[in-house]
A = this chain, B = another copy of it.
Amino acid sequence: MARENANAPYLRNAWYVGAWDDELSKGILARTIMDEPIAFFRDAQGKVGAIEDRCCHRGAALTDGKVVENGLQCGYHGLVFDAKGKCVEIPGQDSIPPMAQVKHYPVVERQGFIWIWMGDPALADESQIIDWPFHDDKKLYPHRKAYLRIRANYLMMIDNLMDLTHLGYVHSKTIGGNPLSHVSAKMDVVRTEKGCKLTRWMENVLPPPTYLKGVPFAGKIDRWQEFEYVLPGSVLQWSGALDVGKGARENRDQYGVHLRLYHAITPETENSSHYLFSVGAHFAQDNPAIVETIFNDTYPTFIEDVEIMNNQQARIDMDPTRPLLAIKADNALQQARRVFMAAYEAEQAMKRQAAE
């Protein structure tokens, strides 16, 4: 059994979920990503920009400013910056020196996500952004979005999502049920182009309480759980259940519980992260309260995870070089970490090559 380390370094050349679109309802959002304070803002034309949250003039936080016609205006002396970080106005002077600019980050607003590229802007390829069409159709896929801050390295949360054995322990009081049923349930893990995917079927079992709140199952059900890790910080969840005998393996698009969850984890610092998730319900669309019910059962469960991870990271921080002991149940999370480390090594190799 291999030993590995807990804190992941940063993968730079990648798209991250920087924010939910509705977090920008007030026009400006301050968020630190990979140690860099960033000012997200929606300009007068409705387009989202992301620039360094530090004015080049006297270092003030640009998020203390406001959106004006030509961009984001510093709240201290009124310099204005556009979405490319270029200073377009300095009150009291006509010419703007070329060095009057701040760092900018490529951003794409799509399907409710504000995606941000943290690496070399020349490499930012929008076609690489993960597709999540379920946010587009609020009628067929009513959903709710949320944010939690985690005081742990972001791969800790990927570990958590790619490991279903913890459900019985961390969530024993909510969605867990019998711990050993989770540990012994068979899982398939396969590599994908940009990550890996675990699939688990629990067939001919009793429905958990949360499911019964959504669908009045009369008897036993066939349940599925699919978790796909996609580089660098996303886990795409598809889970649900149908009455036994409905042929769930062949066609899950029938009436039953049918959930689509998006989990985005974006590094804030080496040992803290942003966790943005959405819970979508692809069933009972005539009852808009269903997605709310599912969300209200899910949210406290995720907070249980966050509390475990906060304490876990505090232990890791006491000596980050101490090894961890892998066990068999780690299979999927280990594969996700291997995918991540391969991508990281490739990026480092590319950097070294560029430097030669």
The reply to whether A170 and B316 contact each other, CB–CB distance below 8 Å, is no
- A57 and B327 contacting across the interface, CB-CB below 8 Å: yes
- On chain B, the residues within 8 Å of A93 by CB distance are 327-329
Q: How many copies does the complex hold?
A: 3
* Contact assessment for A37 and B179 in the assembled complex, using a CB-CB cutoff below 8 Å: no
Q: Which interface class (under 10, 10 to 19, 20 to 34, 35 or more) fits A?
A: 35 or more
Looking at chain A's contact residues, is the secondary structure mostly helix, strand, loop, or mixed?
loop
Given contacts A100-B325, A327-B93, A328-B93, contact A78 B179 (CB under 8 A): yes
Return the contact of A91 from the options B1, B307, B329 (Cβ within 8 A).
Answer: B329
Asked if B325 and A169 sit within 8 Å, CB to CB, the answer is no
Cβ-based interface call for A165 (8 A): yes
- Judge whether A311 and B60 touch: CB under 8 Å: yes
- For the complex, is A56 an interface residue (Cβ under 8 Å from B)? yes
- The reply to whether the CB of A270 lies closer than 8 angstroms to some CB of chain B is no
33-57 of chain A: CB within 8 A of chain B:
37, 53-54, 56-57
Nearest-Cβ distance from residue A65 to partner chain B, whole angstroms: 8
Which of B64, B73, B90, B318 sits near A327, CB closer than 8 Å? B90
A60 to B92, CA, bound (A): 54
CB-based contact A37/B315 at 8 Å: yes
Cross-chain contact of A316 among B59, B313, B325 (Cβ < 8 A): B59
Q: Is A6 an interface residue (CB 8 A)?
A: yes
16 pairs from A and B in contact (CB 8 Å cutoff): A6-B59, A54-B315, A57-B327, A59-B312, A59-B315, A59-B322, A60-B312, A61-B308, A61-B314, A76-B312, A77-B329, A78-B168, A78-B183, A91-B180, A91-B183, A93-B327
- Extra 8 A-B pairs, beta carbons < 8 Å, given A64-B308, A78-B169: A37-B318, A57-B325, A58-B312, A61-B311, A61-B312, A76-B166, A78-B179, A90-B328
